[in-house]
A = this chain, B = another copy of it.
Amino acid sequence: MSGEVNIKRLAQELNLSIATVSKALNDSYEISLKTKTRVLTLAKELNYTPNPAASNLRSNKTKTIAVIIPNIANNFFSLAIKGIEEIARQYGYHVLIYQTHEDIEMEMLFTNSLLNGRVDGILTSVSSNEYNNDYYRDLVKKIPLVFFDRVYESLDAFKITTDDYQISFNATEHLIECGCTQISYLYGLEKLPAGRTRFAGYKDALAAHGISIDENLILHYQPEENENVANIINLFQSHKPDAIFSSIEEFAIPAYLACRELKLKIPDDVKIISFSNLSSAKLLNPSLTTITQPAFEIGIEAAKCLFKILTKRGIGDDQNIVLKSVLIKRESTGC
């Protein structure tokens, strides 16, 4: 009935010491089965739940992890979060979310604010605007941290990535096999390994088929969507690519819009392929050939990896998990 229900209250009503109640709740071997059940039943009856702040303060464990990502409203990241959340749930952990808007200052601000014991560990997919290796080299010593998708490659840290190079190579080859030679590359994540590796796969595939690379066919991502559409239109008008390889999902819709604007037929006039987790890719006009990353699974694996570290189990395994993306061929490459 009365005020807050805490350990002291339980102890009083059961004529036990605070210590005993606490140990009973934590299933300590020091407590007899009989008193354990007494405590548990009263706890349930009074709807007792331990005060997390007190618990954290004393034990230095928070049962909380943080996820730091550039943008929540993105198919890839929201799927990854979904995976992370589900694993966290299994382990009884809570999940904090921070979005950086691709701003490394924010990223560091958030991360620093987590170092005082607010969380037990961090999952992060770093922002693309700047590459700050030094900061993260220090950071990984201070707190359990797992990178996913957007990682710092040279760092000795836990990383979950995908086979960006191979899948980009394959995708480019697919375009070549469809008869394309003037393959425009829409370049995203340039400052990150993921972006560089995708580009390398593209380049090497061209080279492997004796196609020389044309710098004029490479377009760099701009944060404002309108600019990208305009740039793609420009690209079409100045040079005449017969295919587009979009290295990030954000380029896919602008590419379609540009084609529509110029009345170019996909895939007859130009073939399009894009990294993407759009659930509606198969219903686009025409359906879009995609490189789809296993976003959900990446979240799962990243979270599992972190919990391995937190529970001190299975450390020493390879720190680098690489998952396979899948190339889904549809009408936009039409062959």
Contacts and interface: CB of A to CB of B under 8 A. Distances in A.
A116 B49 contact: yes
Contacts of A79: 73
Contacts of A283: 253, 256-257, 284-285
Q: Which of A53, A78, A79, A296 has its CB near the most chain B CB atoms (within 10 A)?
A: A53
A116 B82 contact: no
A117 interface: yes
A97 B98 contact: no
Contact of A113 (B49, B54, B86): B49
Given A51-B117, A253-B283, A72 B82 contact: yes
A48 to B, nearest CB: 9
Given A53-B117, A73-B81, A81-B97, 9 more contacts: A49-B113, A51-B117, A52-B53, A72-B81, A73-B296, A85-B99, A97-B97, A253-B283, A284-B284
A226 interface: no
A51 B116 contact: yes
21 contacts: A49-B115, A50-B116, A51-B57, A51-B117, A52-B117, A53-B56, A53-B57, A53-B62, A72-B78, A72-B81, A73-B81, A73-B296, A95-B96, A253-B279, A253-B280, A253-B283, A257-B283, A278-B280, A280-B280, A283-B285, A285-B287
Nearest to A83: B73
Interface in A192-218: none
Nearest to A276: B280
Nearest to A49: B116
A285 to B, nearest CB: 3
Contact of A99 (B82, B96, B278): B82
A283 B73 CA distance: 19
A25 to B, nearest CB: 13
A57 B55 CA distance: 9
